[in-house]
Chain A
Amino acid sequence: MNDSILTPSFTETLYLLFTINSATFAVDMEQVAEIATINDIKHAPVCFHWFHDIIGSETNVTAYNYPRALVVKHKQPQTAIIIEEPKDTVYIPLESMREMPGLVTRFTNVIWGAAFIGGKPVYLTDLYKIDIFSEL
């Protein structure tokens, strides 16, 4: 794997926002290869994982009929994370980002920070920290 591909851009990072059980999450678009409905993923075959399970949140399957999946870029096994409908893509300035308190990251290391946008927290999420990748 070429490290330069993963070199993060701090100043101009585009985040994909989506909501799970009324909490808003942001995923770095540099970590996303594809966003598609489950049946239309071009990168198949992929392993599917529910984002709900990854963050330990309850899944309310009846709440959405056409879940989307994010295919994670540059990671093996090739993996698609199932989310609800994506909301938006936004640039989040570095100045708005705050590190998650230590007590919280002990339980949810995938959520590394928060940015308050419109007075509400958006949870900054690192897909590469998901256990399925680190366990390999």
Chain B
Amino acid sequence: MTSETYKSELILKELRGRQERAKIVEIDEEQVKMVFFTSGDALFAFYGSDVKEILPIDRIYYVPGCPAIILGIINIRGDVESVVSLHRLLGFEDKAQTKNSKIALAQKNGIRSGILLDSVDDVDDVTASSIVPAISTLNKNIKEFVIGETTYKNRNVTILDVGKLFSKITV
């Protein structure tokens, strides 16, 4: 009986082998944190390393003399931060703020500002290999801000570069 190989043991051995191989893949594959959000009707993402905080929507105070892209300032625990409109940066129509609206406090290339988003869907890791160059037929208003694409829950996600968004305002 001891020399006999049970089928169940063979199956278990195969399962354990697959689990080990899966672990090895997870360790080796570089993970990238992403903030997934909706703007307009599309799903976008920022690199998590560029987003310092996700804030609930609060009153945004208009600052005279600023371009329309800058919606104003907010008070975050006693500090003052600017808020920019992603809709206006991407050439989308303005949309009324809802309870799902969020402000992503982002920082890149020495510039820090809040970015108004329609909603934040998730913060999650994706594998670096899943990030691919964006399709060439992308809307030209968006194209200049895009780093690449990935998939999230079987949906195509356009990854936006916070630095390029800020550069558009400051040039």
Contacts and interface: CB of A to CB of B under 8 A. Distances in A.
B64 A103 contact: no
Interface footprint category on A: 20 to 34
Contacts of A20: 64
Contacts of A101: 73, 80-82, 112-113
Interface stretch (A65-73, A77-85, A113-121): A113-121
A105 to B, nearest CB: 9
Contacts of A121: 61, 73, 75, 80
A5 B79 CA distance: 31
Contacts of B67: 107
Contacts of A57: 64-65
Contacts of A100: 63, 73, 80
B109 to A, nearest CB: 11
5 contacts: A55-B65, A101-B82, A101-B113, A103-B70, A111-B64
Interface of B: 61-67, 70, 73, 75, 78-82, 84, 110-113, 166, 169-170
